[in-house]
């Protein structure tokens, strides 16, 4: 079976860097932007409603929250609170959804206006705290506390995660430090140096343990600021090779047949890109001993992100080339793989160049 391309749900007016789904409301939260550069690309957090229309999944914009000059690069969700990594700081946002019951006349008038536009350019950003949906859904967003979380020469928060009861959040960035903060006051309760160089990812697990992965090729397990152990994925993996690998991502997920049980998953990628790229690997770990359970190759495309379903049944992988894969968490067996083929992208690029040249030639005779 060839590669499959997913249905386009929504196209934002800015580059997207973070996505979250609120399990309570079913909202899709998308964030990103163009940053502080004066390119005309805005920065924002979009709240989208997902629904089935004629058997097809569709997304409509409920609210657009303007983040001014700061693009949101990473995002964590805890109830009605979002933690957004924006440059060197963490900004907390609180959102509330209210359903208003409109009159029959209002519903009839809404139907006469026709269906909502679901694709194309999004409406202009609004700086007001609330936006009312045509069907009577009101969503309010409020800025809470913000704090600087990275202090390197080029400061940038790389990752943010909440703990299991959402009372704390942990941040990691370019300076290699982990910082833990109370929610929602953002009072700092812990800080320690976890890695030489930037932190790539972190995960908060059982019994207050914290797993971090960095660009120094290490994955470490911490109890507060004390090192418990370092992960060794090749103990249960492929034969050692001359290619150095580093840990790209780490996530805890529920064990479906063990109430309260958790399992750790990590992704390992080649540190250097070669003409014949070696494979990336996916590893499942015992969360009590932190020994590897199984390791599987997950292809030669470089993995950029890892996600675990709420039930712990499935794993999602994304690659730097835009591919998406879904795996069974227990066996690490791949269920789905889809992307836009590279040859098609190249063909489209070549076609655009040829069309541009033809248009210039017709508009300006003698151009060539």
Per-residue confidence at 52, pLDDT binned at 50, 70, 90?
confident
- Would the CA dihedral through 233, 234, 238, 241 be positive or negative? positive
Taking residues 94-118, report their average pLDDT: 56
Using alpha carbons, list the distances in angstroms from residue 335 to 62, 151, 309, 318, 320. 32, 41, 14, 14, 20
H or E element in which residue 350 lies: helix 342-363
Side-chain-facing half-sphere of 3: CA atoms under 13 Å: 12
Residue 38: what pLDDT?
A: 82
> What is the pLDDT at residue 239?
62
Band the pLDDT of 129: cuts 50, 70, 90: low
Give which of 206, 210, 182 is closest to 195, Cα–Cα.
210
What pLDDT does residue 170 have? 98
* Mean pLDDT of all residues in 295-317: 94
The beta-carbon contacts of 234-238 under 8 Å, at least 24 apart in sequence, are: 235/291, 235/292, 236/283, 236/291, 236/292, 236/293, 236/294, 236/295, 237/268, 237/281, 237/283, 237/292, 237/295, 238/281, 238/295, 238/297
Q: The tokens of 166 are what? A: 């959402």
Q: Among 30-39, 234-243, 337-346, where is mean pLDDT lowest?
A: 337-346
What six digits make up the tokens of 338? 């889809």
State the SS3 of 17-73: EEEEECCCCCEEEEEEECCCCCCCCCEEEEEEEEEEECCEEEEEEEEEEECCCCCEE
Question: What number of residues does the chain have?
Answer: 368
Average pLDDT for residues 43-65, to the nearest whole number?
Answer: 91
pLDDT at 55: 82
Residue 247 has pLDDT above 90, yes or no: yes
Q: Using pLDDT thresholds of 50, 70 and 90, give the confidence band for residue 248.
A: very high
More confident residue, 339 or 336: 336
Band of the pLDDT at 4, cuts 50, 70, 90? low
**In the block, which residue shows the tokens 């299991």?**
164
- Name the pTM for this structure: 0.81
pLDDT at 349 over 50: no
Phi-psi category of residue 35: left, alpha or beta, with phi > 0 → left and psi -120 to 50 → alpha = left
Q: Which carries the bigger pLDDT value, residue 231 or residue 272?
A: 231
Tell me: pLDDT of 267 over 60.
yes
At residue 10 the predicted structure's pLDDT band, cuts being 50, 70 and 90, is confident
């Amino acid at each position: 079976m060839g590669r499959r391309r997913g249905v386009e749900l929504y196209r934002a007016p800015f580059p997207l860097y973070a996505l979250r789904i609120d399990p309570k409301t079913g909202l899709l939260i998308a964030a990103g932007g163009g940053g502080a550069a004066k390119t005309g690309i805005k920065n924002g957090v979009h709240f989208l409603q997902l629904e089935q229309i004629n058997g097809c999944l569709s997304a409509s914009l409920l609210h657009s929250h303007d983040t001014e000059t700061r693009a949101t690069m990473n995002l964590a969700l805890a109830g009605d609170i979002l933690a957004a990594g924006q440059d060197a700081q963490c900004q907390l946002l609180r959102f509330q959804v209210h359903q208003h019951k409109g009159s029959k006349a209002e519903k009839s008038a809404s139907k006469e206006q026709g269906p909502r536009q679901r694709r194309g350019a999004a409406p202009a950003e609004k700086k007001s705290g609330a936006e009312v949906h045509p069907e009577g859904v009101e969503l309010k967003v409020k800025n809470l506390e913000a704090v600087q979380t990275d202090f390197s020469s080029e400061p940038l928060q790389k990752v943010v995660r909440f703990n299991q009861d959402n009372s704390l959040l942990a941040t990691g960035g370019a300076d290699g430090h982990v910082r833990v903060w109370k929610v929602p006051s953002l009072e700092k309760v812990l800080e320690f140096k976890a890695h030489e160089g930037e932190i790539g990812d972190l995960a908060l697990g059982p019994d207050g343990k914290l797993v971090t992965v960095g660009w120094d090729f290490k994955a470490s397990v911490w109890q507060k600021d004390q090192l418990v152990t370092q992960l060794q994925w090749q103990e249960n993996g492929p034969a050692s090779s001359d290619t150095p690998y580093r840990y790209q991502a780490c996530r805890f997920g529920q064990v479906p047949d063990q109430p309260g049980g958790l399992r750790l998953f990590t992704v390992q990628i080649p540190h250097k890109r070669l003409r014949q790229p070696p494979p990336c690997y996916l590893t499942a770990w015992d969360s009590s001993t932190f020994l590897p359970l199984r390791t599987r190759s997950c292809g030669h495309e470089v993995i950029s992100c890892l996600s675990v379903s709420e039930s712990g049944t499935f794993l999602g992988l994304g690659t730097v080339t835009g591919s998406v894969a879904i795996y069974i968490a227990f066996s690490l067996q791949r269920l789905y793989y889809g992307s836009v083929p590279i040859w098609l992208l190249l063909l489209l690029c070549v076609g655009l160049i040829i069309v541009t040249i033809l248009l210039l030639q017709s508009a300006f005779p003698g151009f060539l």
